[in-house]
Amino acid sequence: MADVLATRPDRQPALPVGIAAPRRRRPRRRARSVLLTWLFRLIVVTYLFFLVAWPVSLVAQKTFEDGFSALDTALSDPSITFALKLTVIVALQAVLINLVFGVGISLLLVRYEFRGKRLLSALIDLPLSVSPVVVGLALVLVYGGRDGWFGPALQDAGFQVIFATPGIVMATTFVSLPLVIREVVPVLTEIGTEQEQAARSLGANAAQTFRRITLPGIKWAVVYGVVLSLARSLGEFGAAKIVSGNFEGQTQTATMAVEQKYQDFQQASAYATAFLLAAVSVACIVVVSIIRPKQERKR
């Protein structure tokens, strides 16, 4: 027989029922596990400090060793300012193309059934695993002005791809192609079709449904994908170097300028340009880390 013993007579009013108690707390930690936790923490922090944090911070340090003079020198060098401008133009074009095709292909992959869907879905990821040098080579083989597959015909039509800006845009688009798609597809899958069907049943047409229901749902994923693509596009080096021919003041982008300045013993300029690129990419990462919780909350 069970019985209630020593239940406190002066009952204090407890908190309202229904407040979710954090149930998933782990049992009281024991000494050995605390030691292990600290050991793991130490290893991880040390590893990341020596592999990433310290080296990256050194670039900032080297750039500002003599105040702003390195940045000044770099930014008054016309070949560097040209390279920076070209990089921005190329990156914006690549991001725009990937945004349109990325969202489009994501919609097709998630919302429609067609033959070869699985193949397409697997091939989409291919650019992430292909060496930038292979990308450059592949584009030269097809669009090369002298003996590419399509190059000569395009050139006769007055359109130069290789050793010109379109080639750099293509190379950059290639390497960052999957980034928007990889972000949007899972979110699109997650939100399902119910809301869209509800909108359709309320009389919205396809465009209205997309603009008013689907797009708000995938908004953060798209922003996230765009930011990642931007970071990747600004930093493209290998593929762009091959297709551009790396002509200073004509087709040289910022990353190629870093290489050339460094090899020409203009280390200050090289570090300053590298710092600018690094600052943008770190900013992108920080933006993403702020967006991500938002996106997750939305799900």
Partner 1 sequence: MSIEVRNIDKRFGDFIALDDVSLTIPSGQLTALLGPSGGGKSTLLRIIAGLESADTGTIQIEGRDATDLPPQKRNVGFVFQHYAAFKHLTVARNVAFGLEIRKRPKPEIRAKVVELLELVHLDQFADRLPSQLSGGQRQRMALARALAIEPTVLLLDEPFGALDAKVRKELRDWLRRLHDEVHVTTVFVTHDQEEALEVADEIVVINEGRIEQVGSPDELYDQPANDFVMSFLGPVTRLDGNLVRPHDLFLATSDPGDASAVGTVTRLVRVGFEVRVELDVAGQSVQAVVTRAEARNLDLREGGTLWIRPVAGAVIVEATERLAVGDLDGIDGDGADAVPVGR
Partner 2 sequence: MTAVDVAAPARTARRRRSGRANGLTATSGLGLGVSVIWFSLLVLIPLSAVLVKTSEGGWSGFWTTISNEQTAAALRLTVGQALLVTVVNVFMGTLIAWVLVRDEFFGKRALEVVIDIPFALPTIVAGLVLLSLYGANSPVGVNVANTRTSVFVAFLFVTLPFVVRTVQPVLAELDADVEEAAASLGASRFTIFRRIILPALVPAISAGAALSFARAISEYGSLVLLSGNLPLRTEVTSVRMLSYIENGDLASASAVATILLLVALVVIVALDVIQRRVSRRG
Of the two residues 45 and 202, which places its CB atom closer to partner 2 in the complex? 45
String of DSSP letters for 33-44: HHHHHHHHHHHH
User: Is residue 259 close enough to count as binding partner 2 by CB under 8 A?
Assistant: yes
User: What's the closest the beta carbon of residue 11 comes to partner 1, in angstroms?
Assistant: 7
Q: Does 9 bind partner 1 (CB under 8 A)?
A: no
Residue 53 contacts partner 2 per CB under 8 A: yes
With CB cut-offs between 5 and 8 Å by kind, which of partner 1, partner 2, none does residue 14 bind? partner 1
Q: Please give the single-letter amino acid code of residue 285.
A: I
Helix 165-191 to helix 78-111 angle (10° resolution) is 40
Residue 201 in contact with partner 2, rule: CB under 8 A: no
Using the rule CB under 8 A, is 54 a contact of partner 2?
A: yes
Question: Contact 84/90 with Cβ under 8 angstroms?
Answer: no
Applying CB under 8 A, which of residues 12, 129, 201, 289 lies at the interface with partner 1?
12
Question: Around Cβ 169, how many Cβ atoms within 10 Å?
Answer: 22
User: CA-to-CA distance for 53 and 160, rounded, in angstroms?
Assistant: 42
Binding partner selected for residue 15 from partner 2, partner 1, none, CB under the kind-specific 5 to 8 Å limit? partner 1
User: Looking up tokens 């845009």, which residue turns up?
Assistant: 169
Say if residues 236 and 169 touch (Cβ distance below 8 Å): no
In the complex, minimum distance from the CB of residue 31 to partner 1, in angstroms, rounded to a whole number: 13
What distance in Å separates the CA atoms of residue 289 and residue 32, rounded to the nearest whole number? 33
**75 vs 101, beta carbon nearer partner 2:** 101
Interface residues with partner 1 (CB under 8 A) are 1-8, 11-12, 14-23, 25, 27-28, 30
